[in-house]
Structure 1
């Protein structure tokens, strides 16, 4: 069986693992098997859909895809290297890092932390829960560390040259602490949820917590820039009590304290928190591992009362948005899959959090320099286009399912044109996921900007409908829920970048039309016609052509 360098590195800590009650030999075997099985795993952020060839099946596609994160991480190089205001620079860097790492963790690796298959398969063997849970945690930590190094690798190398060896050592040490803290904190949060809920309700609550967590990350990231004021062409830090809850500040303070010898009491406390809290959280987690594994079994409990969805309402909606019986059938099928497919929700629901909060974040950025009256009279209501951020990810993820083996049903359908399958599925996504977000934000925006923006909101929705079709046309097509999660290559996710540019272009045209007399109404008429044509023509794909 293939050995891995990371396992050889872990061998150095064998005594530590055995001291905390972990059977190191068994943990190593479990990790070895997991890494071999991970050969086809690719993170959601860059996942595509083409399957690996058999001759390459042992290659870890995840590792090959890390260069994409490296490209993203280049933006941190100038922030890290230019200037000596370390508390500002490094708080900002760790804010970006934590934002990206937490986003990756809750979208890609929550399903690993909450995986109950290990316990069902291995739990019947003579292996203690601490060993099993530690293997699972280290499995996630290894990948999170690879992602982190890929993101901040360029900044790490550049800092060694520009800021010196001591800066580099502090940076690397804090990256390790940050990864440990993020993974353990997420696991402890899930443990808290598992303790108080069970059955189907628990699965739903975990999804809602992911949305809340996504929103919290986005808001916390925005708070970092507000910790400093711009005075005489330099950033000035003004201590406030609430700053102790802004975690990136903890990791920025040691640079200021060690390298600038600034022993301000606030920097000392921040630095202590950066070390003590992660270490303390690890100790607490190790103590609570048996409880975590016990409570994880609640995910198997379907005995609790589950409030059934009103089928009459679903049928009524399907009759309104779908135009034939076959399309309505796949609308209801896709709607049920999105409601019940736990792994799909674990990967897509975090995007809902960002879609909910992003339109308001960019508006709040201007609130400091402008009053509500000035904002209400502006065209900032066009920020609502940011609610379509979840579209590229969701459209790409619709093809995946944990129950993908049931896709044989497509082979026996009498009509070999899959137009109605795709139409019904995309309409189910719009009604179940996108429309609730859009309606909530529309109500809030009308409260802020007035009812006068109602025609603009109609136009925005038509543009989002067009954007949905464009996402479908540009991304690689596969039958809905027909592929296994993670059996993919890392190219398609890059399409999210040009798709975001297209969305921005649609918003820009909308903005221009607002200066034309009755321009919005003219644009509504144009987009209505364009949508009718594209929704009619874009899905004419035969099943045979799709399989090829």
Structure 2
């Protein structure tokens, strides 16, 4: 078995682990197996671009470091924004924490909440402390690799541009930031598991991922707006709520140690950056056994998480045209609700789609200039909420239970149009419509009832956009492929093309608003185009049985 270089580095700390009551030799063997098995797992953000390359070369969850290095190179200029440590480093740490946390939630939540190793190892003479430590080290290894790939360019650049002292402070703060992110995520999971059990806990964790994504995104915007208020002056006086924005903590350390600031507020913020991660790590080590015991709740089958199917049955009768379409509508609805991997990969995008349109109008809301929004057309930024459709439509092909797709080969289905029509309608009604409805209510409150016709037009435009996404992505039967088959490179290219199409649709809408009654004219055009497009793409008889056989093969 090939030895991982990280394990050789850990060998130098064997004495520290042994003094902590950990069987290092056993922990090392467990880590070696975990790292080997990770080579067979595909990351959410990017995967290998060619199947041949994947077969020939062992991968890893972070086998895409080049992407994070590229992002890190783009982040490096942030170090010189505004000529202030507080502003530049707050933005840098804010963006880094956003990238790292979202990756941790999407790619490593399954590792943190994994129960499979316990079924094997708890029946063997393995100390629980050793197993728990192996799990924590396993996550920290990849967290540090991810962080170095992302922040390595700016760290190396700081050595030559800012000096050795800046470099050392930056490196220590990066380690503290990783510990803070890991512990906060784990403690949030623990809090949820203490109050919920069975199937409910799985749903709550998915909802927490949405809130975490939204919170981090909004927090990054607050970082920037904070400095607009204080204008980067020496008389910087943090308010109480600013202590909740963690990127400010780490930036204040530079201001105190290198900028010579001695303001009590900055000293307290700098203390938070050093003390809180260390304290949280100590707490995490203490509650680790409780965390592992709470994980057993994930294996419980509570009745609260079961779906009666009444809503799906009622909606299928309302929107579906024939029994086959209704059947796949209910099937897709159920899979989206019960497929944990699907929710793990899609729900963070729901959070981004909720918050992304508001980022463009954040300045007006933050400055209290909502009165001027009544006559503006910035409400058209709601088009960007349709970005959710690109992820949803793309992910409808994949499932952890893809082997069950053999059923498609034995049931008599002469055409695929009803299948895809029911699948797409279920995705739109379950994920897109609720998300759009929430944003429509908020936008109506901000801009007034005058934009209601425009919001209705945006909804029909999104229905057209859903069909466009379906046409651009490869055709496949719902939930019939394994996630490892996903080619993220192809998805990224198509996503940029779809984003361009979305921008064009928003621009056309804007042009219609410049003419009298233009919104109503645009709405009428969209209704007609929407009807014709759905009938053309999903006709009653789109494929013969031979075509179906070719597709499923």
Residue in 1 that maps onto 2:141? 142
Conserved? CA contact 2:84–2:232, under 8 Å: no
Judging changes above 3 Å, is the alpha-carbon distance between structure 1 residues 491 and 457 closer, same or farther for their aligned structure 2 residues?
Answer: same
Deviation at residue 2 of structure 1 after TM alignment: 1.3
Residue in 2 that maps onto 1:13? 13
Distance in 2 (CA, whole Å) between partners of 1:472 and 1:84 is 47
Secondary structure of the residue that 1:124 maps to in structure 2?
A: coil
Distance in 2 (CA, whole Å) between partners of 1:234 and 1:38 is 48
Residue in 1 that maps onto 2:505? 506
Judging changes above 3 Å, is the alpha-carbon distance between structure 1 residues 240 and 160 closer, same or farther for their aligned structure 2 residues?
Answer: same
Judging changes above 3 Å, is the alpha-carbon distance between structure 1 residues 314 and 82 closer, same or farther for their aligned structure 2 residues?
Answer: closer
Distance in 1 (CA, whole Å) between partners of 2:394 and 2:10 is 36
Per-residue deviation, residues 369-418 of structure 1 (Å, max 9, x unmatched): 45222112222222322322322222222222222221211222323643
2:122 pairs with 1:123 = yes
Deviation at residue 182 of structure 1 after TM alignment: 0.5
Distance in 2 (CA, whole Å) between partners of 1:341 and 1:36 is 26
Match of 1:410 among 400, 408, 411: 408
Deviation at residue 194 of structure 1 after TM alignment: 0.9
Deviation at residue 368 of structure 1 after TM alignment: 4.0
Secondary structure of the residue that 1:263 maps to in structure 2?
A: coil
Secondary structure of the residue that 1:74 maps to in structure 2?
A: helix
Distance in 1 (CA, whole Å) between partners of 2:125 and 2:315 is 52
Moved more, 122-131 or 251-260: 122-131
Distance in 2 (CA, whole Å) between partners of 1:547 and 1:358 is 36
Task: List runs of 5+ in structure 2 lacking aligned partners.
Answer: none
Judging changes above 3 Å, is the alpha-carbon distance between structure 1 residues 395 and 179 closer, same or farther for their aligned structure 2 residues?
Answer: farther
Deviation at residue 545 of structure 1 after TM alignment: 4.1
Task: List runs of 5+ in structure 1 lacking aligned partners.
Answer: none
CA RMSD of aligned residues (A): 2.6
Judging changes above 3 Å, is the alpha-carbon distance between structure 1 residues 471 and 257 closer, same or farther for their aligned structure 2 residues?
Answer: same
Secondary structure of the residue that 2:68 maps to in structure 1?
A: helix
1:93-108 → structure 2 map (5 Å cutoff): 93-108=92-107
Residue in 1 that maps onto 2:216? 217
Judging changes above 3 Å, is the alpha-carbon distance between structure 1 residues 20 and 68 closer, same or farther for their aligned structure 2 residues?
Answer: same
2:184 pairs with 1:189 = no
Per-residue deviation, residues 217-238 of structure 1 (Å, max 9, x unmatched): 1221111012213788989844
Residue in 2 that maps onto 1:380? 378
Residue in 2 that maps onto 1:485? 483
Residue in 1 that maps onto 2:527? 528
Conserved? CA contact 2:47–2:489, under 8 Å: yes
Residue in 2 that maps onto 1:35? 35
Higher RCO (C-alpha 8 Å, min separation 6): 1
Conserved? CA contact 1:40–1:488, under 8 Å: no
Conserved? CA contact 2:200–2:305, under 8 Å: no
Residue in 2 that maps onto 1:311? 309
Judging changes above 3 Å, is the alpha-carbon distance between structure 1 residues 126 and 543 closer, same or farther for their aligned structure 2 residues?
Answer: farther
2:164 pairs with 1:158 = no
Per-residue deviation, residues 38-64 of structure 1 (Å, max 9, x unmatched): 2243322235897556742x5115444
2:249 pairs with 1:250 = yes
Residue in 1 that maps onto 2:465? 467
Judging changes above 3 Å, is the alpha-carbon distance between structure 1 residues 455 and 82 closer, same or farther for their aligned structure 2 residues?
Answer: closer
Conserved? CA contact 1:52–1:487, under 8 Å: no
Distance in 2 (CA, whole Å) between partners of 1:378 and 1:342 is 41
2:192 pairs with 1:180 = no
Judging changes above 3 Å, is the alpha-carbon distance between structure 1 residues 447 and 232 closer, same or farther for their aligned structure 2 residues?
Answer: closer
Distance in 1 (CA, whole Å) between partners of 2:305 and 2:143 is 37
Distance in 2 (CA, whole Å) between partners of 1:233 and 1:508 is 37
Distance in 1 (CA, whole Å) between partners of 2:455 and 2:381 is 11
Distance in 2 (CA, whole Å) between partners of 1:97 and 1:475 is 31
Q: TM-score, normalised by structure 1?
A: 0.92
Conserved? CA contact 2:43–2:62, under 8 Å: no
Conserved? CA contact 1:61–1:489, under 8 Å: no
Per-residue deviation, residues 123-168 of structure 1 (Å, max 9, x unmatched): 2222233322332232222222222222223322332232222222
Report the number of matched residues. 546
